[in-house]
Amino acid sequence: MLTCIETKNLTFHYLEGTKMQKTAINNVSVKFNSYDIIAIIGHTGSGKSSFIQHLNGLLKPSLGKVFVEGQDIWQNKSATKNARTKVGVVFQHPEYQLFEDTIYKDIAFGPKNMGISGEEIDRRVRDAAKFVDLNESLLNKSPFDVSGGEKRKAVIAGVIAMDPNVLVLDELTAGLDPASRDLIFSRIIKYHKKRKNTIIFTSHNMEEVANFSDKVLVFNKGEVAMFGSTLEVFEAHEELCRMGLSVPEVTDIFLALKRMDHKNLPNCVLTIKQAVKILCQQNP
């Protein structure tokens, strides 16, 4: 297994050295394998976004190290630059990522910085806009004249246009209607299968996590509480509950059935598809 990202004893304090100092990440050591889809969950304020902002060098660790494809990203300027092209991040608040006077220029910004030019830029911008279902007529508009959902789509398009090895999505679907959410998620999964990239996403939606991830990293108060396969993590539902987290509704229903003496059901059912299969087998 190739490791695409590794953190060693990563610790981060906001407002370091002041009376207001706040530890957001505490001694986090994790390894992500290439080609995996990893979900990061945790209650609000548990450190998910702060952690993510270290993966492409937007935040610098107070202590510890971050490696991208084996390279310490703070070793020198070129290592930091390299991390920014290898790891593409869609941040939680899209408005901080839009600053050009048109959406077209915003989507083109990342690939341009990577040294891409001319027709290739134009192709990437239009393909990425199509990918997120952003209407072509919006490309010449200011990012400040479009809706929140369209802003989010523009930011996702800008990162997709860079075609990074690691795609990081912080609360990707927040602010999107269910149809756009399903469309973008299914396109990202299709792209992942074709491109063989690594996907890291944070979400408060456990259905999304159960349906799309291979592994789940659980943050609690800035520390790693669990890291394992999606099944392993949701099997530990009592522990998740103690941290104020939930499991998918279908998992809850099967746990309730099991408590009602349906002993032959599996311990942990994660998706509707799985549930239907099990129920059909029980009542052919």
Of 24 and 224, the one with the shorter C-beta distance to ligand ATP is 24
Contact track, ligand ATP, 14-43, x by CB under 6 A = xx------x-x-----------------x-
Task: Give the residue, chosen from 10, 26, 32, 49, that forms a contact with ligand ATP under the rule CB under 6 A.
Answer: 49
Out of Mg ion, ligand ATP, none, which partner does residue 97 contact, by CB within 5 to 8 A per kind?
A: none
Give yes or no for residue 61 binding ligand ATP (CB under 6 A): no
Q: Closest Cα partner for 46 from 240, 236, 198? A: 240
Task: Give the residue, chosen from 7, 26, 46, 56, that forms a contact with ligand ATP under the rule CB under 6 A.
Answer: 46
Q: Over the range 176-211, which residues count as b (16 or more CB within 10 Å of their CB) and which as e?
A: beeebbeebbebbeebbeeeebbbbbbbbbbbbbbb
Task: Report, in Å, the least distance between residue 163 CB and ligand ATP.
Answer: 26
Task: Report, in Å, the least distance between residue 49 CB and ligand ATP.
Answer: 3
Sheet holding 215-220, edge to edge: 87-90, 166-170, 198-202, 37-41, 215-220, 223-229
271 and 238 in contact (C-beta within 8 Å)? Answer: no
Burial group, residue 261, by CB count within 10 angstroms (0-12, 13-18, 19+): exposed
- Residues in contact with Mg ion by CB under 5 A are 48-49, 92
Residues that bind ligand ATP (CB under 6 A): 14-15, 22, 24, 42, 44-50, 92
